[in-house]
Amino acid sequence: MKLPNGITGFYDSKANTPPQVDGKQFKQLCFDFASRNRGKLIDFITPQYPSNFYYAQVDVLGNRFYILLNEHYPYLAFASVVEFGNIKFIDRPVLNEQFPSFYRIIGTVELNVPFNQNLIKKTELNSAELEQIAYWKPETVGQVIFNYWD
């Protein structure tokens, strides 16, 4: 998976600022999804220092899980746990039909790919991101896309 410039939320110049996704749209889509599936939106969190992603906690027929969206790119994932430094990614194939026209859904296979020097060479990450990666030492692609770095 090719990681674009600014995916981590860090950038090295104003000219290199990453784009922003529409958080209001994401919140509405999560609410609509929960309503259509006889569920409810329990909580919606906007990116707050030090995280770089939005997430919604939903309950659908007694099944609670999280829907995550990177703050800068339309990369979406699902998780069973979202805690500082601990995100447990899960696959929800049924949900893949709900969001694909808006976001790229990333499954656990891609999220759990080991992040290493060979992978860094295939990215568009900027120097500020590479510094953060050297400091935080993420083990997987998912830890780069959805992070709690400061």
Q: What is the pLDDT of residues 106-139, one digit of tens each?
A: 999 999 999 988 888 889 999 999 999 999 999 9
Q: What is the pLDDT of residue 121?
A: 84
Residue 36, domain extent: 18-112
Asked whether residue 77 carries a pLDDT value surpassing 80, the answer given is yes
H or E element at residue 52: none
Structural domain contains residue 77: yes
Q: Per-residue pLDDT averaged across 54-71, rounded? A: 95
Q: Rounded distance, CA 48 to CA 101, Å? A: 26
Q: How many CA atoms lie within 13 A of 17 on its CB side?
A: 5
Question: How many domains is the chain partitioned into structurally?
Answer: 1
Q: Rounded distance, CA 61 to CA 106, Å? A: 23
Structural domain contains residue 6: no
H or E element at residue 90: strand 86-90
How many C-beta neighbours within 10 Å does residue 112 have? 14
Structural domain contains residue 80: yes
Structural domain contains residue 125: no
Asked whether residue 95 carries a pLDDT value surpassing 80, the answer given is no
The percentage of the chain sitting over the pLDDT mark of 90, rounded to a whole number, equals 77
Structural domain contains residue 36: yes
Q: Per-residue pLDDT averaged across 36-54, rounded? A: 95
Q: What is the pLDDT of residue 120?
A: 87
User: And the tokens for 135?
Assistant: 């400091």
Burial of 148 (0-12, 13-18, 19+ CB in 10 A): middle
- pTM of the prediction? 0.94
